[in-house]
Amino acid sequence: MDVQVRKGDTLWYYSQLFAIPLQLLIDSNPTVASKPLQIGETASIPGFLLNQHKINSGDTIWKIAKARSFLPDALFLVNPDIVPENLKIGSTIMVPERVVEPIVNARREYDYEAFLSDSKKLQNIYPFLYSRSIGNSVLGKDLIELKLGRGTKKIHVNGSFHANEWITTNVIMTFLNDYLLALTNMAPIKGIYVEPLYRETMLSMVPMVNPDGVNLVLNGPPEEEQFNKEVVRINNGNLDFKDWKANIRGVDLNNQFPAKWEIEKERKKPKEPAPRDYPGDAPLTEPEVIAIRDLTKEADFSRVLAFHTQGEEIYWGYEGFEPGISESIVNEFSRVSGYKAVRYVDSHAGYKDWFIQKWKRPGYTIELGEGVNPLPLSQFDEIYQESMGIFLAAMYM
């Protein structure tokens, strides 16, 4: 919600007027927060939308404000020309409405367009949530990073490396929405007040690493002529892409990182583009992987969490490069989720593997749910409840 600054207004005053933490207002107004507010400039109030209210018989500014737990000045701020003694029945005024319900509906097939739409809606309501493209997919789709928080502890979360594991995007976006709601409503998640986590942690999310693949699984072959027939050929003529894990070129993105990639190349059965498991002709050939690599190098993350499905396991070690703190963190992840902690598996070239090998910091591959990919949406609520504690513990520990 945007407002026009009046004489004497400050971000601190807005924080009191709307019961919003001051730091969220500062971060929502980065271009004006470093200096006194100027009369007439625009300031953003996170966690609110403006709606019209039709004046009814008996309405007063004070009555309308009280019904919404506001001070009357909140209405004067968004209706600068209002005359309280001259409210006409049937006329309309603007009224701030606190957002108290999530806008992300993740109990549906969640393709790239749905993800992009929800990302933009969240950023509009919560302008302290920063969004940027870190690169492009093979088909030119923006790979979106969503970022918030002030802390020196930098945590990265990603999902949908594998196309038919798209439910991981639903989980990440639902947690993000719940986190934003808790921050602006000063409410707890699982009994934990999250404002201290915001101050201590910078949270980076790339909820959909493989948008072309996700759309292929959910919507079928793309319109682009170069790939329309090629994906059907790679899929052995089958128009059902439910078993497709790769990107649109048939390369498995989580077999593309330079952590003993040569071993995976040698032993993987596909020696050419395939719906799954083909590691490419060399590491780091795919634009989606290059974007994640560049982001990781640039951001200097403290720890990373890669969400996959399925198996209800958490992989946390790689070749002995993992630091000692990794075990205490994964034990907490296991406690709050019920998932089994697994230190080593005979696998290489994954994002978690590369991160641990290169930075010797905690990295985790979290296999959500149990069954056959793609997991059914009927599992979503259970999976999300299991994962919430992992998100919180990742920031808290």
Residue 242 covered by a domain: no
Least confident of 29-38, 263-272, 281-290: 29-38
367 is catalytic: yes
The pLDDT-based confidence of 314 (bands split at 50, 70, 90) is: very high
The CA-based angle 88-78-29, given to 5 degrees, is: 170
Residues 289 and 175 in one domain: yes
Label residues 206-241 b or e (16+ Cβ within 10 Å = b): bbbbbbbbbbbbbeebbeeeebeebbeebbeeeeeb
Residues 319 and 188 in one domain: yes
User: Quick one: average pLDDT of 342-351?
Assistant: 97
Range of the domain at 36: 2-98
User: Quick one: average pLDDT of 306-324?
Assistant: 98
Q: Which two tokens stand for residue 143?
A: 């790979």
Residues 172 and 71 in one domain: no
CATH number at residue 371: 3.40.630.10
**Contacts by residues 11-15 (CB-CB < 8 Å, ≥ 24 positions apart):** 11/37, 11/43, 14/43, 14/45
Residues 81 and 117 in one domain: no
Query: Tell me: the pLDDT tens digits for 273-298?
Result: 999 999 999 999 999 999 999 999 99
Residues 79 and 30 in one domain: yes
- What's the CA dihedral at 239, 242, 243, 245 to 10 degrees? 110
The one-letter amino acid code at 74 reads A
Query: What are the Cα distances from residue 237, in Å, to 217, 249, 268?
Result: 14, 15, 22
CATH number at residue 71: 3.10.350.10
Residue 238 covered by a domain: no
Residue 239 covered by a domain: no
Q: Which two tokens stand for residue 194?
A: 């999250």
Provide the domain count of the chain: 2
Q: Is the pLDDT of residue 371 over 80?
A: yes
Residues 189 and 88 in one domain: no
pLDDT at 31: 87
Separation between Cα atoms, residue 287 and residue 133, nearest integer Å: 13
The pLDDT-based confidence of 32 (bands split at 50, 70, 90) is: confident
Catalytic one of 367, 370, 382, 386: 367
Residues 119 and 30 in one domain: no
Q: Are strands 92-98 and 153-158 parallel, antiparallel or unpaired?
A: unpaired
Alpha helix stretches (DSSP H) within the chain: 11-18, 22-28, 61-67, 73-78, 112-125, 167-185, 195-200, 211-219, 225-234, 261-267, 287-299, 325-337, 351-359, 380-396
Residues 129 and 69 in one domain: no
Q: Which two tokens stand for residue 203?
A: 């949270």
Q: Is the pLDDT of residue 45 over 80?
A: yes
Q: What is the largest CA-CA distance in the chain?
A: 81
Q: Is the pLDDT of residue 33 over 80?
A: no
